[in-house]
Every structure is written in C-alpha cells, then in structure tokens.
Amino acid sequence: MLPSVPSFLSLAFGLVTALAIGLLYYASHRSGRTLFVLLMWLLVQGACALSGFYTVATGWPPRLALLLLPPGALLLALVGTARGRRYLDGLHLATLTLLHVVRLPVELVLFGLYLHQAVPREMTFAGRNWDILMGLSAPAVYYFVRRQRLGTRGLLLWNVVGLGLLFHIVVTAVLSAPSPFQRLAFEQPNVAILYFPFNWLPALVVPVVLLAHMAAIRQLLLKSGTPVAAAGPPIGG
C-alpha cells in the first residue's frame, strides 16, 4: 500500500469498486458467472499488487500490461463472438446507465490521491480530466431513461461523449505511469495504480465502465436500426 495515502482513501476506493461490481451484476440480471469472473479477477489483481509485482517498472514486457491486456482481450471477445454479443445485448440498459455514477467517487478519490502526490494533476478534475461530468449526470440520465423521456439518439450521444472522456483519462493515466511508455507527469507520476487497491481502477473499474458503454451503444444502434454485427438467437432459446 502507498504509505503516503490515508487509509480512508483506500477504503473509499474499495467501496467504489464494490459498487461497480454490484451494478454490473444487476445489469446482467444477477448472473452468477459475471459475479464469479469479476471477483476472481479482483482477487488475482489484489494479490499481485500486495506482492509488489507492479512496483517493478523495468523489464519487458511492462508489468502494467497485466492490468490492461486481459480485460481488453475479454472485451474484444465479447464484441467479436456471437456468444459475447448475446451477453452484451442482454444487459439491462437502464442499469448500465446508472453504472456510470461510479465515476463521481472515482474522481473524488483521484483528487485525494493527487493531494497526496500519488497521481498527477492532469488525472483530476482540477487538471484535464472532465470524466466527473459523467458521474454527475448519470443519475439524471438514468431517471429520464426509466421514465422514457430520453430518446435513443440522446442516450447514444451521452454514451459516445462518455466514451471519449473515458479514453482521454485512460491515455493520460497510461502515459503518466512509471513504465517504458511514460511521456507525461515525470515530476509527479501516476504511482497509485501500482499499489493495492488502486490497481483495481485500470484492472476492473475502467473495463466495467467501458463494457457499459460498449453494450449500451450496441443496443442503441440496434434499436435505431443501424446495421451492426448480429448476435444470433438468445442462449437457451
């Protein structure tokens, strides 16, 4: 754990991670398989970080790749296979929308980490990260979706904007982390993600948020009649 970071920030981020898992679990209609995969990956990544695995910034391939590549491969498999597309199409759209509320406490934790010299200013809302807007707007958008007062195009636009904001902060975080790819924030690098529990941010929270955008955008494109890859018949029927 980061010695300079107070324990309440670690606890807060642990609760944020639990919220992200819980919301995806409900979006998947309480899928036991979804919950199992998320919890197992959480345990693996927790063990890696607690062992100090990610604090070694030298060597090739960079150890940070273990945070990013497995979730990325899983997301590609969901998009690239009929079974995966059926899973995305079966997720509850309104709950996927509400899931983005986790981005508000994430940004508050990041600001706290910045105050304790664990992430650069560029990764916070005080710098170049406006991702907090998605967390602030998610409850209102969720309300309008439930009340059917937000059209397909409006929700699609909101998801596309959110996807752009997510990619912006992910690129900033990767380029400011201690690794052969670091290009930013050498005076105050992104060291938080090297330690437990903050390594759960790129390993689990960000992929869950990305999955929510991917599934929502796909469902909305299908609803609007835009041609996308077919998912095939539902599993079991």
pLDDT mean across residues, the chain: 92
Separation of alpha carbons 119 and 27, rounded Å = 31
Residue 169: CB atoms within 10 A of its CB come to: 21
pTM beyond 0.95, yes or no:
no
- The secondary element (H helix, E strand) that includes residue 50 is helix 32-50
pLDDT-derived band at 132 (thresholds 50, 70, 90) equals very high
Report the SS3 class of residue 148.
coil
Other Cβ atoms less than 10 A from the Cβ of 79: the count is 15
Band (230; pLDDT cuts 50, 70, 90): low
Q: Which two tokens stand for residue 156?
A: 């699609």
Percent of residues in the chain assigned helix, strand, coil, to nearest 5:
70, 0, 30
Report, as an integer, the average pLDDT of 167-195.
90
Map out the domains of the chain as residue ranges.
7-224
The answer to whether 155 and 220 are in contact (CB under 8 A) is yes
- The contacts of residue 156 (CB under 8 Å, 6+ apart) are 217, 220, 221, 224
pLDDT of residue 99: 98
Share of residues in the chain with pLDDT > 90 (%): 82
